[in-house]
Chain A
């Protein structure tokens, strides 16, 4: 197996055995990027020099007996909506072209402290609004399994990089499925942790009450390594969880025997590709064979989750994106008055999907419409949380497909926002509830496109969730890696 295909665990073993250096791992990832970026466009910025220096330091530290833990010397990528001091951060928006943050996001700092080597910043849908990475102002990313298709989104760049090996793992952000859906479409593991467990300080906000940072990785164990490096209470984030944290990596080998697994009735049927449904039910059967008690569970509010999400998220976004006015940083439009300067800045700086959502959100919060839209959506959100609570009275975890479909063709949904929004139908409920959920690749369809399996758990239920996810990974035995046709020869 070549270096760029290793998991973090495998790379760590070789690193500590002295077989490879962090610099070797980094060069493997950088070589991989050089080979694939022209086709995939996973990265917006690759910080070759910064990364090389960090890798050298990681090697020197290790030689001195200083070991920062599982991520020590491991090349990872960051979605470009997380601030990196001194390295351009744009959230894939024209409005932040050239913006260089003066500070590190908490996750950036934590990754550095964990000894990770930050390779670069990955592409995303502008301000994380989208499900295909086609809404980037800097060009679309493509799926390594089929470069005519999207990698999902909005963390599509992170997903493509991890899948193809130009990073060993990456961070994404998940507001309605933006980590899990691209993970599913690219055949990697994608995790959205419990809301509040990973600091949002330095994450360019899309919808504050839903946004959560999490890892994309090539194994469940790697996801746990990443999670344990980045989470924890942060005094700089007032919504950060201050209590006791679970210890998921301790439970990875515990299996599912005696576990109660609920299959969500509403996340199946019309709109779901047969190959996806077949793969998911096969996995459910395997879990049952492995000793889990499987039951079907109904969560009727899931049917209206998407509508509630598309009011709450744009409403919060409309305020979160108000700071991009051209006055203090980023792109500035020409204007003789403050009003025209701001209006032109925003008209020129925001792409069509962002503009659509800001308008939608502004409308949903307007006097006279607030109760009917935003107020109502918040009620639905509470109802979804109650539905989840009821379900968790009888099951330990809930499972479903991660995405109703495999990766779709680039451009296929760009003129049909509603079809695009439906990409997140399975992932949105966990965001609305603030619960953790993880996508694990379980197989390929007949077109050789990956299928993801979602495991959901109650708030702070990461331990049980990882326990099931690790079992799913083992039962699936998914070991395929994408091969770029042009490179195969």
Chain B
């Protein structure tokens, strides 16, 4: 039997607001434990939550960027459960009326674009952080647990996809694209390693063509896109193996073990997962007026998908448009300026996603410190077009520009990379090479066309690579045929 995998992704995005969701404490990564706390986020008796307006604007922005509807009225709920790092004994979250609902994100894998539905994006607060001391940090055998409430009350947006994802690669693409959107908005640091964006996957399988849904397993603890893809892949295979061996799947939460490359069943929590949701009586319903939504919509930056479409319209192939679109804003700005200077879109894009990006990576330079302007890149393209430098010499010119040696024309001159395009000068070299290689000339006369390549190489070497290869080719053939 062929199996189809059905995957949904839940994403938690920590918003990069200055203050927490319901109090004035600072949101700060890496601060001394329990320094950013107050009666509200410590759940002291009598303290009350007051919502952060900026956080609500961020979730609206995320929702709009993901093509969601923004609810006119949205309600906070209490999600009740006991946990040491949950100070109030409930989390303020949302239940049946989230801020955003019914959106989508188009993702492309191997050239095929699919629309992944987004069920909802809701607002909630983060919990504190437990650190278990002793016995390898596992909760049950730990000697003690340290609690840090700096994270308690940090605004979180949870984005829940529909089970529209069909492969691990697609899950990864969805996660990456969603992260790109959030980062583009500036709504979050969106750093996986710091946990400011976290992904959980709901995975099930069903026979190809079947309608219903299989037993759903939630997979947690993936801290990179690669591990998300691997974990989902592993889980799909595991489920198929279990079912094909005649076994039954359990609805459970499984933990991805990065080192072992497997998922483990997490201990089933005692008691049921009845969170006894009810309306948070300390908070009035939020009203998102049409004018407020419009204000947020107008403030949205150009999003990766829109940008990619624009690049495609401007003549870039889909792959190139995609890569450029995902490049840092500084790189994209260079593109826009160079193109406005009249340089060819594709050539500029190729320089940027190729040599420029490689240089950034190799030299570990932050894109904000990229020492290249759009006008300079346009000039580089121009001198190649004019035949001033060869394509290969142009790479060295770029290197010089990036090292601050001057404009492309200046670097070409200073590094002595200007092409020899003077016909008589090249004719002289050609004549010399032909005189030195009588065997080759004979072979050509005998019909061996491929010696031309050898002779071109000889001429280029003799000119120290500066001769215009097109001219060399032309002149060689003329001389050989005469």
Binding site for B on A (CB under 8 A): 81-83, 89, 91, 96, 99, 101-103, 105, 200-205, 207-209, 235-239, 315-316, 318-319, 321-325, 327-329, 337-339, 342, 362, 365-367, 370, 374
Q: Are A365 and B80 in contact (CB under 8 A)?
A: yes
Q: Are B42 and A238 in contact (CB under 8 A)?
A: no
**Chain B interface residue count, Cβ-Cβ cutoff 8 angstroms:** 33
- By a CB distance below 8 angstroms, the chain A residues around B282 are 205, 208, 237-239
List, sorted by A's number, 14 A–B pairs whose CB atoms are closer than 8 Å: A83-B46, A91-B45, A96-B45, A101-B45, A200-B46, A200-B48, A202-B46, A238-B51, A238-B283, A315-B278, A362-B276, A365-B278, A370-B278, A374-B278
| Contacts A238-B50, A328-B87, A365-B278 given; does A101 touch B44 at CB 8 Å | yes
Q: Which of B43, B270, B281 is A328 in contact with, Cβ under 8 Å? A: B43
Q: Are A367 and B46 in contact (CB under 8 A)?
A: no
Let me know if B414 is at the binding interface, CB within 8 A: no
CB distance from A309 to the nearest CB of B (A): 14
Let me know if B47 is at the binding interface, CB within 8 A: yes
Give B276's nearest chain A residue, CB to CB.
Answer: A365
Let me know if B384 is at the binding interface, CB within 8 A: no
CB distance from A44 to the nearest CB of B (A): 15
Give B49's nearest chain A residue, CB to CB.
Answer: A238
Q: Are B89 and A322 in contact (CB under 8 A)?
A: yes
- By a CB distance below 8 angstroms, the chain A residues around B283 are 238-239
Let me know if B82 is at the binding interface, CB within 8 A: yes
CB distance from A81 to the nearest CB of B (A): 8
Cα of A348 to Cα of B31 in the assembled complex, Å: 36
- By a CB distance below 8 angstroms, the chain B residues around A105 are 46
Cα of A89 to Cα of B44 in the assembled complex, Å: 12
17 A-B pairs besides A237-B48, A319-B276 with CB distance below 8 A are: A81-B46, A201-B47, A202-B47, A204-B45, A239-B284, A315-B278, A319-B88, A323-B43, A323-B45, A323-B87, A325-B84, A328-B87, A365-B276, A366-B274, A366-B276, A370-B278, A374-B278
Cα of A128 to Cα of B80 in the assembled complex, Å: 22
Cα of A322 to Cα of B145 in the assembled complex, Å: 20
Cα of A220 to Cα of B166 in the assembled complex, Å: 71
Q: Are B50 and A102 in contact (CB under 8 A)?
A: no
- By a CB distance below 8 angstroms, the chain A residues around B44 are 101-103, 328-329
Q: Which of B48, B80, B284 is A322 in contact with, Cβ under 8 Å? A: B80
Let me know if B147 is at the binding interface, CB within 8 A: yes
- By a CB distance below 8 angstroms, the chain A residues around B48 are 200-201, 236-238
CB distance from B250 to the nearest CB of A (A): 20
Q: Are A238 and B89 in contact (CB under 8 A)?
A: no
Residue among B50, B83, B277 with max Cβ neighbours from chain A (10 Å): B50
Cα of A103 to Cα of B40 in the assembled complex, Å: 11
Q: Which of A103, A200, A202, A319 is B78 in contact with, Cβ under 8 Å? A: A319
| Contacts A322-B82, A325-B89 given; does A339 touch B43 at CB 8 Å | no
CB distance from B152 to the nearest CB of A (A): 11
- By a CB distance below 8 angstroms, the chain A residues around B281 are 207-209, 239, 316
- By a CB distance below 8 angstroms, the chain A residues around B207 are none
Residue among B39, B45, B46, B147 with max Cβ neighbours from chain A (10 Å): B45
Cα of A207 to Cα of B282 in the assembled complex, Å: 10
- By a CB distance below 8 angstroms, the chain A residues around B90 are 319, 322
